[in-house]
Amino acid sequence: MITPYLQLIALLEMSLTCAVVFVILAQKLSSIDIPFSVRLLAVLLLGNLFFWPLGMSMELPLAAYVRGVTGELSVVTMLLLWSSVIPSNQKTPLGFKVPLALIAIAFYPLALGLGMLDPYAWGYGSIGLLIAVILFAIICGLAGWIKGVWIISFAMIAWASHWHESANLWDYLLDPFLAIWALIAIPKAIYQKRREKAQSGYLFRAG
Amino acid sequence: MSRVIAFCFLLLASVLTYLHVDSRPAWVPFTSDYPVNIANQADDALETTEGSKPVKPLKNTGPVKMAQPTLQMGWLPDTGAPSVHAASLITLKDGAVRAFWFAGSREGAPDVVINTAVFDPQASRWSAPTVVMDRVSAEKGLSRYIAKLGNPVPARMADGRMQLFFVTVSIGGWAGSSISSVISDDEGLTWDRPQRLISSPLINLSTLVKSPALAFADGRLGLPAYHEWIGRFGEFLRIDAGRVIDKRRMSSGRGAIQPVVFTDGPQVASAFFRQTRSSSQPKQIPVSETKDAGQSWVVSKDLEIPNPNSAIAALTLANGTRLMVLNNIEAGRYRLVMVMRKANSDQWQVVQVLEDDESLINDQHREFSYPYLISANGEDAHLAYTWDRKKIRHIYFSAAWFKHAISILKEKEAQ
C-alpha cells in the first residue's frame, strides 16, 4: 500500500530532519532563545530547500545526497529530533539514554559479525524482541517519560505498516546516530553532575 | 490522563505489531530447479576410491582431450569498456541465456554500468549488449546518492518474472555496499523502478551478492549474500519480491565470503565460500551446513581444495552430479578449473582445466576469476568468467561433453 510512496516519504522525512538539525544547531549557537514561529518557518524553508531538486550539476535533491550517506534514520531518532523544536519539549531522560547505549554496545558488534548470534535477525518478527520493546515502552511511561511511550508506539506502528524500506523492527527503533547520541550523553551527564556538585559546594561551603 | 492515553496508544501499537508478527510467512523447505534424478547417475558415475581424499590440482591432467564433442567457447559481446567483471547468467523461458556483467573504465569507477546480452543457443551467437543500469538511473530510482555499481545476480521469481539483484555503493569502497533489485516482466528487456534491500543495521552498509539465489517451496527466494567490512561472513537472505523478510548468518568472523549453496534436499544444504583468511590460516574452501532449510547454519570442516581468496561457482545437474569452477591454487587467479563430484560421493575431481598461466612468469599471470555456472535443462552447463578483466569468457558444456568427460576420467582412474 505504501510501497509506491516509499521513496517520497523517505525524502520528505530526510528533508524535514535535515532542516530540524540546522535549526537545532542554530539554537545551540545562538545566545537568545529563537521563538517557535521563527523555528517553524526556518524548518519549512530549509525543508523545502532539501526536498526539491536544485538543478545545477546535481542530479538529485539535497536530501537524497544526505540519505545516500546516512541511510534511513530510525523513527525514534526522527521523532526525537523533530519534537526537540517544539516549545514544551520534554528533555530526554538519562534513564532512556543509558539502556539505549548499553543495548547499542551489545547489539552492533553482534549484528556486524561477531559470532554466529545475530540479534538483528530478531527484528524480522521475533515475538521476544517485540515483548521486550513493549516492556521498555511501559517502563518509560511508568518512569514519567510519556513522550517515550508515544515515540516507541509510533515506531512499532511504522514497522507494522512497512513505512520504510526495511522490514526489520530494529531499523525503526535504533540507528548508529541515536546510539552515538546516547553514548555521548552518559559522560556528558556525569561531567555535568560533577560540575553542579562542585559549584554547589563552592556556594554553600561552610565559612 | 496523558499517561493513560499514551498507554492506550501503546496497546494499539502492540496489537498491530503482534498481528504483523503473526502474519509473517513461515520458513519453508527448499525446492529444486529440476528433479534431481540420482538413478540416472548410474550410467555416468565416476568410479571413485573409497573415502574422500584431499583434492589436489591435477597438474598432468591438462585440458581433457575432447575429440568429440568439443566445448563451445566464446566471449560475451565487447562494449568497448576497458574493464569488465562479475558476469552472471540466467536461462530465459525460450531456452536462450541472458548474461549480466559490469563494465567501465575500471572496477568501482562512476562510469561503470551493468550490461546485458542474450545468447541464442541455436545460432551460438550473442546479441548486441544493452545497459540495464547505470549510476544515475540507479540513484534516481532509489532516490539517494549512488557512487558506483557492482555485481549483478539474476534470479527467477515464482511468478515467472525475472529479478536482478545488484550491488551499489554510496560511500567508501565495496565495504560500503548495499544490495538493490529490479524486476522485469519481459525477460529482461525492460525493468521497473529499483528497490533497496535493507540487510544491515549500520546505515545498511556492507552487504553484497555474487551467487545465484535458491527457491523456497512458497515461491520466495533465498539469496546467499555476504558482508565485507568489519566482519567478512556469509548471510542467507530470505527475499519477498524487493524486500528482505528474514536473514540468517552462515558464517562469522573475517574468513568467508561469497557463499555458493548446494541443496541436498528440502531441508539440507551446504555452502562453500571464498576464503578471506589471514596468511597463517589454511587457504581452503570454508564450508557451512544447514539442516533446517537455511534457518540455522553450522560451520563445518573445510573442503580441502585450495582457494586463493577467489570466488567459486557451483551447479548441480539433474543426475545429481555437482560441478564447481574455481581457482585451485593458494595464491593468484591464473588457473581456473572445473571440478566434479558425483551424487552420493565426497570426492571432487578436476575434469577440465579451463585456464592455466602457471608456465608464465609471475608478472605475466593473468586473472581468470568470478565464475558463474547455470544449466538450461539440468544436463548441460553455461559458464561465464572474467578473463583478465578485459573480457568475459563464455563456455558451453553440452550433456554429451559431460558424458565424455566422465568416461575419460574413468579411463584415467583405471590406468
Banded pLDDT at B22 (limits 50, 70, 90) = very high
Q: At what angle do helices A6-29 and A36-51 cross, to 10 degrees?
A: 140
Query: Are the C-beta atoms of residues A172 and A181 closer than 8 Å to each other?
Result: no
Q: Count how many Cα atoms sit within 13 Å of the Cα of residue B101 in the half-sphere of its side chain.
A: 33
Give the closest residue to B228 by CA, choosing from B202, B249, B255. Answer: B255
What is the Cα–Cα distance from A130 to A151, expressed in whole angstroms?
15
Q: How confident is the model at residue B43 (pLDDT cuts 50, 70, 90)?
A: very low
Closest to A50 (Cα-Cα) out of A87, A97, A12: A12
Nearest Cα neighbor of B305 from B55, B52, B51 is B55
Separation between Cα atoms, residue A9 and residue B3, nearest integer Å: 29
Residue B97's pLDDT is 97
User: Which pLDDT band holds residue B404 (cuts at 50, 70, 90)?
Assistant: confident
Q: Which residues of B111-146 are buried (b: 16+ CB within 10 A; e: fewer)?
A: ebbbbbbbbebeeeebeebeebbbbebbbbbbbbbb
| Mean pLDDT computed over every residue of chain B | 90
Looking at this protein, which amino acid is placed at residue B154? Answer: P
Residue of A156, A162, A169 to mutate for B, most B C-beta atoms under 10 A:
A156
**CB atoms near residue A176 (< 10 Å):** 18
pTM for the complete prediction? 0.91
Nearest Cα neighbor of A16 from A55, A68, A62 is: A62
Least confident of A149-163, B50-64, B353-367: B50-64
Question: Residue A22: exposed, middle, or buried by beta-carbon count in 10 A (0-12, 13-18, 19+)?
Answer: middle
pLDDT tens figures, A20-70: 999 999 998 988 888 999 999 999 999 999 999 988 778 899 999 999 999
Query: What pLDDT, on a 0 to 100 scale, did the predictor assign at position A86?
Result: 86
State the pLDDT confidence band at B64, using cuts at 50, 70 and 90: very low
Which of B3, B195, B198 is facing A171, going by the closest CB pair? B198
C-alpha grid cell, residue B80: 568497448
Say which amino acid occupies A140. C
DSSP string computed for B249-297: E---TTSEEEEEEEE-SSS-EEEEEEE---TTS--EEEEEEESSTTSS-
pLDDT over threshold 60, residue B104: yes
Q: What is the pLDDT of residue A205?
A: 57
Peptide bond into B69 cis (omega under 30): yes
Three cell numbers at B214? 535458491
Dihedral pair phi/psi, residue B149, rounded to 5°: -110, 155
For residue B369, the cross-strand partners are B386
Residues in chain A: 207
Residue A161: count of CB within 10 angstroms of its CB: 13
Contact yes or no for A167 and B244 at CB 8 A = yes
Contacts of A137 in chain B (CB under 8 A): 10
Instruction: Say whether pLDDT at A115 is over 80.
Output: yes
DSSP 8-state symbol, B195: E
pLDDT at B58 over 60: no
The residues, any chain, with a CB within 8 Å of residue A183's CB and separated by 6 or more, are A101, A104, A105
Candidates B20, B195, B243, B296: best to mutate against A (most CBs of A within 10 A) is B20
Radius of gyration over every alpha carbon of chain A, rounded to an integer in angstroms: 19
Spatial strand order of the sheet with B72-75 comes to B72-75, B391-397, B381-387, B368-374
CA distance B61 to B365: 20
Q: What is the mean pLDDT of residues A116-143?
A: 96
Q: Which residues from A are below 8 Å from B136, CB to CB?
A: 59
SS3 content of chain A, % helix, strand, coil (to 5): 70, 0, 30
Please state, for a pLDDT cut of 90, what percent of chain B lies above it.
79
Taking CB atoms and an 8 Å limit, are A138 and B10 in contact across chains? Answer: yes
Q: Please give the DSSP secondary-structure letter assigned to residue A89.
A: P
Q: Cβ neighbours of residue A109 under 8 Å, at least 6 residues apart?
A: none
Burial of B394 per CB tally in 10 Å (0-12, 13-18, 19+): buried
- Per DSSP, the three-state class of A2 is coil
The model's confidence at residue B45, banded by pLDDT at 50, 70 and 90, is very low
Q: Work out the percent of chain B whose per-residue pLDDT is above 70.
A: 91
Mean pLDDT of B98-111: 96
Retrieve residue B141's grid coordinates.
530510482
Residues 166-185 of A with CB under 8 A from B: 166-171, 174-176
Q: Do B183 and B121 contact (CB within 8 A), yes or no?
A: no
Backbone φ and ψ for B19, nearest 5 degrees, come out as -60, -40
CB contact under 8 A, A64 and B144: yes
When pLDDT is cut at 50, 70 and 90, the band that residue B52 belongs to is very low
- In degrees rounded to 5, what are phi and psi of residue A145? -95, 85
Residues of chain A contacting residue B146, judged by C-beta atoms under 8 Å apart: 68
Alpha helices in B37-194 (DSSP H): 41-44, 135-142
Q: Across the interface, which of A11, A137, A157 has its CB nearest the CB of B16?
A: A157
pLDDT at B44: 41
Instruction: Give Cα A180 distance to the centre of its chain.
Output: 10
**C-beta of residue B236 within 8 angstroms of C-beta of residue B207:** no
CA distance B234 to B222: 13
**The cell 548410474 sits on which residue?**
B42
Q: Give the closest of B20, B143, B171 to A69, CB-based.
A: B171
Helix (H), strand (E) at residue B339: strand B335-341
Reported as a single tens digit per residue, the pLDDT across B377-393 is 999 999 999 999 999 99
Under a CB-based contact definition with an 8 Å cutoff, are residues B335 and B57 in contact?
Answer: yes
Compute how many other C-beta atoms are within 10 angstroms of the C-beta atom of residue A88: 6
Task: Report CB contact under 8 Å: A115, B229.
Answer: no
| pLDDT for position A206 | 56
- Name every chain B residue with its beta carbon within 8 A of the beta carbon of A166: 198, 204, 244
pLDDT at residue B66, as a whole number: 46
